[in-house]
Amino acid sequence: MRLVFLGPPGAGKGTQAQILQQRFGAKQVSTGDILRENRAQGTELGKLAQSYMSSGALVPDEVIIKMIDAELDKLSGGFVMDGFPRTVAQAEAFDCLLDGKNLQLDAVVLFNADRETLIARLTGRWTNPRTGRTYNAATNPPRVAGIDDDDGGPLVQREDDKLETVGKRLDVYEKQTAPLVEYYRRSGKLVEVDALAPVDAVTKEIVAKIGVPVEQRAAG
Ligand code: AP5
C-alpha cells in the first residue's frame, strides 16, 4: 500500500496514518514529525525549520524534498505520506523520485473538513511526543487529563496549535496545498473521504475507497 494523505491541518491525517500503520504495516511518513524530531535534537535541519514551523509557514521545498528522498531509501514496504507533498513543486519532485525507484502510488486520499471543525480539533489536540498518539480534549480525551493511556507519560500541546497560528496554517493550506487536489485528480488517483465522521468511520471509508483486498481487511 503506497498512499498520500492530503488535507488541511487537523483533518485527521496523522490519526488515520497511525491506524493504517498498525493495521496494515504501511509506514507512516510524517514530514511534520521528522521536522519536530530534528528540532528536539537541535540538528541543523531542526534549527532551519523552527522559524517556519512556529509561524505556521511551510519549510522550503528543497529541504523537504531532500528529506523525503532519504526517507524513501529507508523504506522496504508500503507507506502513508502524512503531510507530504504540500506544494505542486513537492508533488512533481515526488513523482520523479518514485519513477526513479520504480514505485507507483496506489491512491491519494483527500480529507474533507470545514474550517470551524479544524480549528476546534487543533486547539484541543494533545499528543504523546514519544509515540505520536493524539487525543482531543473534546472528542477523544485521555482517561486522565494530560496523561497518555498507554505509557502513562505526559501529553503535550504543539506550539503551532495556538489559535493565531492555526488560522495562518489553514490559510497556507488553501493557498499552497489545495492546488494539489486538481493535480492528483488529473492523475486519476484521488479519492475523497468525509473527515468529519468519527475516527472509525473515516478508517472504514479509506479502506473501502483505496481498494484494500478483503482478506487483508479481515487480517487488520
Ligand atoms: P504537520 O505536522 O504535518 O501538521 P499538519 O499538516 O498541519 O497536520 P496536523 O498534524 O496538524 O493535523 P492532522 O491532519 O494530522 O490531524 P490529527 O490526526 O493530528 O506540519 C507541521 C508544520 O511542519 C507545518 O506547518 C510546516 O511548517 C512543516 N511541514 C510539515 N510538512 C511539510 C511539507 N511537506 N512542506 C513544508 N513544510 C512542512 O488530528 C487533529 C486532532 O483532531 C487530534 O486531536 C485528533 O485526536 C482529532 N481527530 C482526528 N480525527 C478525528 C475525527 N474523525 N473525529 C474527531 N476528532 C478527530
Identify the CATH number of the domain in which residue 70 sits.
Answer: 3.40.50.300
DSSP strands (E only) in 38-153: 79-82, 107-112, 125-127, 134-136
Domain assignment present for residue 148? The answer is: no
Domain assignment present for residue 145? The answer is: no
pLDDT at 132: 84
Domain assignment present for residue 86? The answer is: yes
Among 68, 140, 157, 206, residue to substitute to test ligand 1 (most atoms within 8 Å of Cβ) = 140
Find the largest Cα–Cα distance for the chain. Answer: 48
pLDDT at 216: 63
Per the structure, the count of domains in the chain is 1
Q: What is the pLDDT of residues 133-164, one digit of tens each?
A: 889 998 889 999 999 999 999 999 998 998 99
List active site positions.
Answer: 13, 86, 125, 158, 169
Do 126 and 113 touch, CB atoms closer than 8 A?
no
Atom of ligand 1 nearest to the CA of 198: 53
Domain assignment present for residue 134? The answer is: no
Residue reference for cell 482531543:
136
What DSSP state is assigned to residue 194?
E
* d(C-alpha 8, C-alpha 161), whole Å: 13
Reference 166, options 21, 9, 7, 3; nearest CA is 9
Give backbone dihedrals phi and psi of 153, rounded to 5 degrees, phi first: -90, 175
Q: Which positions of the chain have pLDDT values less than 70?
A: 213-220
Q: Which domain holds residue 70?
A: 2-114+163-219
Domain assignment present for residue 152? The answer is: no
pLDDT at 64: 97
pLDDT at 139: 87
Atom of ligand 1 nearest to the CA of 137: 44
Q: How many residues does the chain have?
A: 220
pLDDT at 214: 56
* d(C-alpha 61, C-alpha 52), whole Å: 12
Domain assignment present for residue 168? The answer is: yes
pLDDT at 218: 53
Element (H, E) at 61: helix 61-74
Residue 133 in contact with ligand 1 by CB distance below 6 A: no
Dihedral of the alpha carbons of 105, 3, 94, 65, in degrees to the nearest 10: -160
> How far from the centroid of its chain's Cα atoms is residue 92's Cα?
19
Domain assignment present for residue 125? The answer is: no
| Nearest alpha carbon, ligand 1 atom 50 | 12
Domain assignment present for residue 53? The answer is: yes
Do 182 and 188 touch, CB atoms closer than 8 A?
no
Determine the distance separating the centroid of ligand 1 and the alpha carbon of 161, expressed in angstroms: 10
